[in-house]
Amino acid sequence: MQTSTTPIVYVPEDSDFTIYNLPYGVFETSSLDKRLGVAIGEYVLDLREAATQGFLSSLSSEYFQGTDFNAIMGLDRRAWKALRSDIQDVVYGKTSESIKSHHSLLSKLFIPMHQVSMHLPAKIGDYTDFYSSKEHATNVGTMFRGADNALNPNWVHLPVGYHGRSSSIIISGQDIRRPCGQLKGNQEPSPHYGPTQALDFELEMAFFVGQGNSLFESIPAKTARDYIFGLVLMNDWSARDIQRWEYVPLGPFGAKNFATSISPWIVPLEALEPFRVPAPTQEPQVLEYLERGPDPTTFDIHLTVSIQSSSMRKPQLICESNFRYLYWTMEQQLAHHTVTGCNLRPGDLLASGTISGKSEKSFGSMLELSWGGSKPLKLEETQEQRVYLQDGDQVMMHGYCQKENIRIGFGSCHGKILPAKPLT
């Protein structure tokens, strides 16, 4: 039978979830328990139902009975590609004709997006956040140490990172409670307790580890692509005043561990291949285990951040950046993470760090946009000013790739700030 090139369900032209995308997520409805799904247009394909109907023959049906993608992540790229092919056949391929003639089966397979609620797509065992934007690191270093000492000597030799807290990673749409902690101003003799007055967002992306590596075995950057399952948007919420007091000498702690938001749909690496572009030139030459492969090693992903205060009718765009700005690539991040023999596992999450470009409009945090508070950001609709985020503010992040008629989107990563809870 001739394969159709038209999806079986309606897909708007400007949809993030086109037939070229097919991202993975975990959903539930009022009548369906948590299960694995794929976004297509304004619908979610129920993978458990598709497997039950025999449409996903490349994998055992057991892989689709759970409530997370960890088992599928643990397979190799060949298995991921075969599953993607099966899903394409359901959406617009060989199995479509048989589905079209059975409306009850069609309604079981494709759930309207407005009926679903989303959950974390994986059990995240470990979470690591990197510091891979040279522009961001330079901006922050300039503010705190001056232009002559902006980058620490090690920064151009290795991907700097820290181990974060996986238990407080939350799904897009969940509200953020303003954190409290120890605060100390420059002129204060001693610290005090209170809610952060410098709550910030950080525009990031993150990737889920696929098959892991054994303890004491490392993965060089040139082969690390085979261990990356897919990408999500990330907002690494940060309390800058708590961070300023606590980070010496071991780095971020409570200032980062209260909440990290991710978008619900994992865009597979294969969907992004048409948008692969060269990464920035690295000088000096990196060590052998960090050497990139001969082909382009990053992606052209347009990223935006908008803010909407409680008194605004619509959000205001405040940042336009791009994933391709990152100095250290995902493969290099993974290689450095494992160079000591650290074992990564399916479902581990590795984040990019704040993604900033050279222009002020591309700065990926309030810290940079307001330049440490010296240049308040103006919200045009209400004439409000922002140095950092206030209660009631909503932060909305989006990402997409576009080339001719091919569009790949990541959906939304958003959250609203709630007031701090009183000390109990």
The annotated binding site is made up of: 129, 131, 145, 202, 204, 236, 243, 247, 256, 260, 354
- Say which amino acid occupies 23: P
Spatial separation of the C-alpha atoms in residues 327 and 131, rounded to whole Å: 9
- Three-class SS state of 222: helix
- 114 labelled catalytic: no
Q: What are the structure tokens assigned to 329, written together? A: 């690539």
Q: What are the structure tokens assigned to 247, written together? A: 């980070």
Q: Which of 296, 304, 307 is nearest to 322 (CA)?
A: 304
Please tell me which residue in 102, 136, 163, 192 is annotated as part of the active site. Answer: 136
From the annotation, which residues make up the binding site for Ca(2+)? 129, 202, 204, 236
Q: 20: Cβ–Cβ under 8 A, 6 or more apart, which residues?
A: 271, 274, 406, 407, 408
Phi, psi of 232 (to 5 degrees): -135, 160
Element (H or E) spanning 384, and its range? strand 384-386
Rama region for 146: left / alpha / beta (φ>0; ψ in -120 to 50; rest): left
Residues 268, 24 contacting (CB under 8 angstroms): yes
From the annotation, which residues make up the binding site for Mg(2+)? 236, 256, 260
260-262 and 203-209 strand pairing: unpaired
Residues 129, 256 contacting (CB under 8 angstroms): yes
From the annotation, which residues make up the binding site for substrate? 131, 145, 243, 247, 354
Q: What's the burial of 24, exposed, middle or buried (CB within 10 Å: 0-12/13-18/19+)?
A: buried
Active-site residues, by number, are 136
